[in-house]
């Protein structure tokens, strides 16, 4: 299972330099193997609304979470120590520590372009490195 970091979704949504790589990843991997955190969803919401992209946000939620089978996960208040521990141990900011703690709790692999995860014991994989069986949902 893959925990897809905020920067991956934004790369595609904002049609940035590596958007094609992300698109190919999303075509290769079945939606039921993709997860995003509630923190990621809220971060994307903040960024897209700030950019005047409310329709993009609505379409993202509808296409991926409501219709698409991508799953939303989050941490509980009693998981805060895991976030704080990861932040201190690996010199991560809150958002990266949240992703790290979620991936550790659920034993998911992090998909990200963020090199900060390279300092952790879990590391990360970039979209172009993910090898997955054919999609079952096509």
Whether 134 has a pLDDT exceeding 60, the answer reads no
Residues near 92 by Cβ (< 8 Å), separated by ≥ 6? 86, 100, 116, 119, 120
Distance CA 65, CA 56 (A): 13
Distance CA 11, CA 121 (A): 25
For a pLDDT cut of 70, what percent of the chain falls above it? 95
Give per-residue pLDDT as tens, 51-70: 999 999 999 999 999 999 99
Q: What is the average per-residue pLDDT within 117-123?
A: 97
pTM reported for the whole predicted model: 0.91
Residue 133: pLDDT band by 50, 70, 90 thresholds? low
Q: Share the mean pLDDT of the chain.
A: 94
Neighbours of 78 (CB within 10 A): 7
Residue-level pLDDT at 132:
61
Distance CA 123, CA 32 (A): 22
CATH class assigned to 2-124 = alpha beta
Determine the angle formed by the axes of helices 94-106 and 38-50, rounding to 10 degrees: 150
Residue-level pLDDT at 131:
81
Give per-residue pLDDT as tens, 67-92: 999 999 999 999 999 999 999 999 99
Distance CA 112, CA 7 (A): 7
Q: What is the average per-residue pLDDT within 99-120?
A: 97
Residue 119's φ and ψ, nearest 5 degrees, are -80, -10
Give per-residue pLDDT as tens, 2-20: 999 999 999 999 999 999 9
């Amino acid at each position: 299972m893959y925990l897809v970091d905020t920067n991956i979704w934004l790369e595609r949504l904002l049609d940035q330099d590596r958007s094609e790589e992300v698109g190919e990843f999303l075509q290769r991997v079945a939606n039921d193997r993709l997860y995003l955190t509630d923190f990621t969803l809220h971060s994307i919401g903040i960024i897209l609304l700030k950019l005047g992209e409310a329709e993009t946000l609505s379409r993202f939620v509808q296409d991926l979470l409501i219709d698409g089978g991508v799953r939303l996960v989050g941490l509980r208040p009693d998981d805060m120590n895991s976030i704080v521990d990861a932040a201190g141990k690996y010199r991560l900011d809150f958002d990266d520590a949240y992703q790290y703690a979620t991936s550790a709790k659920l034993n998911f692999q992090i998909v990200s372009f963020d090199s900060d995860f390279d300092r952790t014991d879990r590391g990360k994989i970039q979209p172009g490195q993910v090898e997955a069986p054919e999609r079952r949902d096509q």
